[in-house]
Amino acid sequence: MTVLTEPSSFDVQAVVDEVWTTFLGGEPLVPVAPDFDPAGTFPGSRWDAAVTVSGAWHGLIVVSVNDAVAHAVTQAMLGLDDGDTAAHEDVVDALGELVNVIGGNIKSLMDGPSKLSLPLVAQAPIQAGGIVETCRLDLAWGSHRVWVTVGTRDEGGTS
Amino acid sequence: MISPSSFGFVADFLLRETAMVCEPGKEYLVEARLLPLARAAGVADVDRYVDLLRTDAVERGRAADALTINETSWFRDLAPYQAFTDVLLPQLLAARQDRRHLEIWSAACSSGQEAYSIAMLLDESLPPGWTYRIHATDVSPTMLERVRAGRYSQVEMNRGMPANRLVKYFTRVGREWEVSADLRRTITTEKINLAAPLPGIGLYDFVLLRNVLIYFDVDVKRDILRRFRARVAPDGFLMLGSTETTLDLDDTWIREAAGRAWVHRPRQPAGVRPATGTATATSPATPSTSHPTRLTTTGA
Amino acid sequence: MHALIIDDSRTMRSILRRIVVDLGFDVTEAGNGQEALTALEDGLEPDLCLIDWNMPLMDGYTFVTRVRADPRWRNITLMMVTTESEHGQIVRALAAGAHEYVIKPFTADAIVEKLELLGLAAQEVPA
């Protein structure tokens, strides 16, 4: 039997597509050539939303977006009218739920049992010690960029 | 937005290759369905993609699949399935005592939710010693491949699948759910274009032709019903969509109430009655108010 | 009809609220299982609970177990709405007494169809 040590980028892409289009409808996410280092600077204010998975598999799932995408996502998920702007705590909550659902579905790809953490949202890069990036999606949402990274606990090269 | 000439081309080839009617006003939906294919093919927009379709038959097949995808549910509308277990199945069990086998046809089966829903009901309701086959047919080879694979996404599983049946009949395979091998073995598949002569022979005890006729013009509808008439057993049943009827098209059918749904039965020549006809004949159908469900956007 | 929506995300509660309000439900919201249990203790009588799994203070699984252990609440329909989607988790929730299970992400249609299955939303009756 094959034991997966990390989710495939194909599956991660499919999960992200499914969650994104189900909650946000409209414009799909389109893969694009990598043009940004998530650890570096961001064009516009940056939002990171993350969950960790711990148990049979240890992982970190991070969704990174700029301020405009963060507000658009919140607006769509909360069903706000075009004129209404989302409050800061609304953005935190909406991005948290988005990464919660993405993370939960990625957790299900892996052998369990594992537990999903409550989401963490920050206007800054979120990283975790001992976690190495194993999958990164560079996506376009209209004219904006969306990044999803999956990290797996560094097991010292065992597989 | 897709140009009128591109839209006209798409509507023409859909009509020619699948007999589906794609009327003006559906431009937005055609654009939404074809845009991902255009991107996958590496062209800038839907009009360029339609140019590709003019010369590429393989790509036309992909486009036809994308345009005829049915956003479908398990046990869709519930009432037809309740009618099947509560009303039709008891009659069929009585009528098929000698053979102890049921033949069922899911016509225009799309990704197979209807066929597998019926399979689950039969698995739970058929007495020991009985067998059944569900013949699932569609115009799209991609859809038939999906039926054979029996794998469904999370979002598809959420659509009407009772949780107790999900855990009973499905296992998780990666990000998808796979229907049990026992149920898959009861399904056969075949590519059938409803607008062309029907291949094969044999009679079906129960035929599902739901929410399909609405896509054909009236002459094709009449022709389909005539050809299906020859494939439904004299004491069998045809189930159409809840808003569809044969009555204004073809007087060789009788419409009967079955629980909260309607079924159609082949009208027998004068003096001949099916052995098991117990449902009540009723007055002509009232006009439908619902809308077709193909070529719709996904509800969010 | 009254629905109690239990989820630690206000966004998710808002999404679910809009769906069930359209079906004619009144809605009460709770941010975790403990808050929901307190509402029931205080006399709230919902017909339906929509329950997330992972929440602070008390998770949805524990909430279901607690509700099912108390005969006062035997008529409440319990539906998990969660990102937990392993086969074994669904089996556990059903064994604990949940009636239905929806996995996030879901469309509005998915919720409506499940409530139809549960007899809590009217089906469209054919002509």
B26-65: pLDDT as tens digits: 787 788 788 878 877 778 788 999 998 888 877 887 788 7
Nearest CA in chain C to B240: C126
Residue A3 domain-assigned (yes or no): no
Task: Tell me whether residue A74 is in a domain.
Answer: yes
B202 and B131, same structural domain?
A: yes
Number of domains in chain B: 2
CB-nearest to A22 from B39, B297, B300 is B300
pLDDT at A35: 67
Would you say residue C124 lies in a domain? no
Residue B245 and residue B285 in contact, taking contact as beta carbons nearer than 8 Å: yes
pLDDT digits (tens, 9 = 90+) for A45-87: 889 999 999 999 999 999 999 998 999 999 999 988 877 888 9
Higher confidence at residue B155 or residue A27?
Answer: B155
| CATH number for position A124 | 3.40.1550.10
Q: For residues B2-8, give the mean pLDDT.
A: 90
Instruction: Report if residue A113 sits inside a domain.
Output: yes
**Domain count across chain C:** 1
Cα separation, B187 vs B150, in Å, equals 10
State whether B36 and A28 contact (CB < 8 Å): yes
Contact B158, C102 (CB under 8 A): yes
Range of the domain at B24: 4-68
Residue C79 β-bridge partners? C50, C100
SS3 category, A153: strand
Neighbours of chain B (3+ CB pairs under 8 A): A, C
The strand pair at B176-179 and B151-153 is best described as antiparallel
Q: Is C123 part of any domain?
A: no
Number of domains forming the structure of chain A:
1
Q: What does the pLDDT read at residue B271?
A: 61
> Cβ separation of A112 and C86 shorter than 8 Å?
yes
Domain CATH code at residue B61: 1.10.155.10
Q: How far is B5 from chain C (nearest CA, A)?
A: 34
- pLDDT value at position C123? 66
Coil, strand, or helix at residue B58?
A: helix
Specify if A98 maps to a domain: yes
Looking at the domain assignment, is residue B296 inside a domain? no
Tens digit of pLDDT for each residue in A76-104?
999 888 778 889 999 999 999 999 999 99
pLDDT (average), residues C12-33:
96
Domain hosting residue A121, numbered range: 9-24+43-131
Is-cis flag, bond preceding A113, omega within 30? yes
Asked which of B17, B48, B68 is the last residue of a domain, the reply is: B68
Q: How far away is chain C from the Cα of A122, in angstroms, using its nearest Cα?
A: 16
* Domain boundary, last residue among B68, B91, B119: B68
CA angle, B224 as apex, B218 and B227 as ends, to 5°?
A: 145
Residues B11 and B132 in one domain: no
Are residues B15 and B87 both part of a single domain? Answer: no
Q: What is the rounded distance in angstroms from the CA atom of residue C105 to the CA atom of residue A108?
A: 13
Which structural domain, as residue segments, surrounds residue C53?
A: 2-117
Please report residues of A whose CB lies closer than 8 A to that of C14: 77-79
> ipTM of the assembly?
0.92
Q: Tell me whether residue A149 is in a domain.
A: no
- Residue B272 belongs to some domain of the structure: no
- Which helix (H) or strand (E) segment holds residue C109: the answer is helix C108-117
